Amino acid sequence: MAMLMDGPAAWPVGDAGAEMYALVERLYPVCRSITGDGVRRTLDIVGEYLPLQVHEVPTGTPVLDWTVPPEWNIRDAYIADATGRRVVDFAASTLHVVGYSVPVSATMTLAELRPHLHTLPDHPTWIPYRTSYYAPTWGFCLAQETLDALPDGEYRVEIDSTLADGHLTYAEHVVPGRVTDEVIVSCHVCHPSLANDNLAGIAVAAFLARALSERDPWYTYRFLFAPGTIGAITWLARNADRIDRIRHGLVLACAGDRGPLTYKRSRRGDAEIDRVMAHVLAASGRPHRVVDFSPYGYDERQFCSPGFNLGVGSLTRTPYAGYPEYHTSADNLDFVSPDAMADTLAVCREAFGLLDRNRRYVNLSPYGEPQLGRRGLYDSLGGRSDAKQAQLAMLWVLNLADGEHSLLDMAERSGLPFDAVADAARALHDAGLVKP
């Protein structure tokens, strides 16, 4: 079967940046956690952009070494002073309540309340983001300046929440490819109003899926929208029979800030996705960093746990916990930009375009250099400004087309652009000199 490559990956960006930003704006007010109606509402909105298969996994389900927790939902929460004025109000910011807080209805003094209050003294106008998923407790997050202004006295404390048997919710979108080997793209959907740390990643993932669906990709692309840690663990536990299909993967997060791109290698360190991302970033001329794997970060640490050891890396702009605004109210709609999200999307498209075209070929005339002129291959280069490069690329492909070297191997060894090597392979294939 002739496995012809696509041409150079060239998805027009168009207004993708503005559209992704609009999606982040819509998602921003929703209160998300690792379970609950906020996750469902988030997936409902993403589902307006691309079809999703939504999965509900019951509380108590064993998933690897974990158990699906009770479902948490919250309707209202506040701290009110003696006049009834809400000095801390969940309606003003979803960050004001510690995630998974148990219900509370009480009157207490400021001294009694203080152990349940969380602030950032170094950033007195910011609200921190705090959670307590697996220890039953409650709390409020507020600006230090708000706390400093509270007089002694009694306060009414209300958290209208429920922790009950329910479900963990996640969703998938699959872009069918020409083969059933899969590339998994994962983003987390469990944070409340944090624009960069999860919403930008969700938006980039959704628009990447849409772009891939408009092509005829080689690989099957599986997009996973799931709560962090427990969501990835649940997916892995429920898809043990699919793991051997996963050839490559990418975790998307912190995709919209103005910092340079950072790629974190998989645990393997030399997986094909690691090499592809490093090549694309270097060839693009963008400011960037490529860093080694560590078991700290996002869900790459689940996919790269030693039992699975999948070739899954992570793409961010400023990495996990690497900016002061991380997990605070300063990670807001002003912190992310359409241009940054568009740039992240463009790199993903370039990388997957290369990944889809990275084949191994066999030279059908391996004894001596075949005569290219009589096959019209030199003539086809006439007048091209890159004729010398194109000719050199053909020679490299012919020399390394031994079934062991991929096109990326050839590009790296020759120092030539991947597209030049891929074009040469296509021309040689059409001339009957190489085959997949």
Residue 13, pLDDT score: 45
Q: Distance (Å, rounded) from C-alpha 171 to C-alpha 225?
A: 5
List C-alpha distances in Å: 93 to 21, 219, 275, 290, 389: 19, 41, 41, 35, 57
Residue 250 lies in a domain: yes
- Are the beta carbons of 45 and 27 closer than 8 angstroms? yes
Residue 376, pLDDT score: 81
Residues 278 and 160 in one domain: no
Q: Among 357, 375, 399, which residue terminates a domain?
A: 357
Residues 346 and 370 in one domain: no
Residues 336 and 230 in one domain: yes
Residue 85, pLDDT score: 97
User: Over the stretch 105-163, which tens digit does the pLDDT of each residue have?
Assistant: 999 999 999 999 999 999 999 999 999 999 999 999 999 999 999 999 999 999 999 99
User: Over the stretch 12-56, which tens digit does the pLDDT of each residue have?
Assistant: 345 899 999 999 999 999 999 999 999 999 999 999 999 999 999
> Does 327 show up as a binding residue in the annotation?
yes
Q: Among 308, 341, 357, which residue terminates a domain?
A: 357
- Are the beta carbons of 100 and 164 closer than 8 angstroms? no
Please give the model's pTM, rounded to 2 decimal places: 0.93
Continuous segment of H or E residues that includes residue 301: helix 300-303
Q: Which residues, 6+ apart, have CB-to-CB distance to 96 below 8 Å?
A: 77, 88, 89, 90, 127, 140, 141, 142
Residue 295 lies in a domain: yes
Residues 208 and 315 in one domain: yes
Residue 77 lies in a domain: yes
Residues 144 and 266 in one domain: no
Residue 11 lies in a domain: no
Our count of domains for the chain comes to 3
- Are the beta carbons of 434 and 399 closer than 8 angstroms? no
Residue 396 lies in a domain: yes
Q: Which residues, 6+ apart, have CB-to-CB distance to 305 below 8 Å?
A: none
Residues 257 and 333 in one domain: yes
User: Over the stretch 264-311, which tens digit does the pLDDT of each residue have?
Assistant: 999 999 999 999 999 999 999 999 999 999 999 999 999 999 999 999
Q: Among 357, 379, 414, which residue terminates a domain?
A: 357
Residues 231 and 332 in one domain: yes
As a residue count, the chain comes to: 436
Residues 365 and 421 in one domain: yes
pLDDT at position 4 over 80: no
Residues 351 and 294 in one domain: yes
Cα angle 414-416-418, degrees, rounded to a multiple of 5: 115
Residues 175 and 269 in one domain: yes
Instruction: Print burial letters for 44-71: b (CB count within 10 Å at least 16), e (below 16).
Output: eebbebbebeebebebeeebeeeebbbb
Residues 395 and 344 in one domain: no
Token reading at 87: 């000095």
Where do the DSSP E strands lie in 131-259?
A: 140-141, 154-164, 167-175, 182-188, 220-226, 246-252
Residues 157 and 175 in one domain: no
Q: Indicate which CATH number applies to the domain containing 44.
A: 3.40.630.10
Tokens 């479902």 — which residue?
71
Cα angle 311-314-320, degrees, rounded to a multiple of 5: 145
User: Over the stretch 178-213, which tens digit does the pLDDT of each residue have?
Assistant: 999 999 999 999 999 999 999 999 999 999 999 999
With CA atoms as reference, report the closest residue to 9 among 426, 338, 310, 347: 347
Q: Indicate which CATH number applies to the domain containing 413.
A: 1.10.10.10
Structural domain that includes position 316: 16-69+167-357
